[in-house]
Amino acid sequence: MATAAAPRRTPVEGTRFFLIMALVMALVIVAGFSFNLAMGRSSFAAPWPYHVHGIIFMGWIGLYLAQHATITTGNLALHIRLGKLAYAWIPLMVAAGCMIIVVTARSTGGPFFFSQNEFFISNLAGLLAFGLVAARALRVSRHTGWHRRLMLVAMSMLTGPGLGRLMPMPLLIPYAWTIIVTLSFIFPVIAMIVDWRRDGRVHPAYWWGMGVNVGLFVASMALAYSPPGIALTEWVIAGTPGAERPMAAFLPPGFTM
């Protein structure tokens, strides 16, 4: 009877690739922030909004990895239970992300190797893209092919900060922001190639997810460099320390690598 009552653990077919991709993306993010900490470019002495933001986003990475681990080992019941957390966690991430973007823009003007307008507006658009794609993934959770591919695309959008902390960003001025966002596309592109080689086609979930991702990025850059976009950025940082730096990316006086 005990054997009959034990839960079945049957791994979902094809999960190994998605687990590997989840581990690689998580490693990139953690490595980037760890490298910055080791180099003394950041510290735990940051104001409380940064800690709140960090806890929420690192919590998502843990949840994302746990979801892949549970489905890979066939623990579907736990996978479903943990998945319910995402319905609250995704909006929380978008809210925390918006908060830290505004706080950073007003307190420091953002990283000096990014233009303020693109850091502010395109960053917000990236969060919106993440929220839209991740929410869509939850809505189609019964369709495994769509669900896991959309989640992969959504997770790839969060790798930018990790990638940026591993790159010589000052050397990439004035294209640093565009380069880092474009580099984050590599993870869905790898997944699309895997689909093509295995099935002879790319799953439509990737086209949908990357359509939202790339489309909002292009639109956000156009807005960021338009008069309304620049005016909005100036309005947000007006009267704050962030307004004291140039709008365009720049090298601080005396800066050395």
Report cis status (omega within 30 of 0) of the bond before 174: yes
Higher pLDDT, 1 or 61: 61
Residues 155-170: what's their mean pLDDT? 96
For residue range 176-215, what is the model confidence (pLDDT) as tens digits? 999 999 999 999 999 999 999 999 999 999 999 999 999 9
Q: Quick one: residue 167, left, alpha or beta (phi over 0 = left, psi -120 to 50 = alpha)?
A: beta
For 43, other C-beta atoms within 10 Å of its C-beta total 8
pLDDT, residue 8, reads 47
Share of the chain above pLDDT 90, in %: 84
Q: Cα(176)–Cα(166) distance, rounded to whole angstroms?
A: 12
For residue 37, give the H/E element and its range.
helix 15-38
Share of the chain above pLDDT 70, in %: 94
For residue range 42-59, what is the model confidence (pLDDT) as tens digits? 767 788 999 999 999 999
Q: Cα(222)–Cα(240) distance, rounded to whole angstroms?
A: 25
For residue range 129-162, what is the model confidence (pLDDT) as tens digits? 999 999 999 999 999 999 999 999 999 999 999 9
Residues 16-24: what's their mean pLDDT? 95
> Which tokens go with 34?
């760890």
Query: Does residue 4 surpass a pLDDT of 90?
Result: no
Query: Does residue 3 surpass a pLDDT of 50?
Result: no
pLDDT, residue 39, reads 77
Q: Quick one: residue 109, left, alpha or beta (phi over 0 = left, psi -120 to 50 = alpha)?
A: left
What's this model's pTM, rounded to 2 decimal places?
0.92
Query: Does residue 1 surpass a pLDDT of 50?
Result: no
Q: What angle is formed at CA 193 by the lines to CA 10 and CA 195, rounded to 5 degrees?
A: 35
Is residue 248 within 8 Å of residue 174, measured between CB atoms?
yes
Q: How far is CA 183 from the centre of its chain?
A: 12
pLDDT, residue 36, reads 83
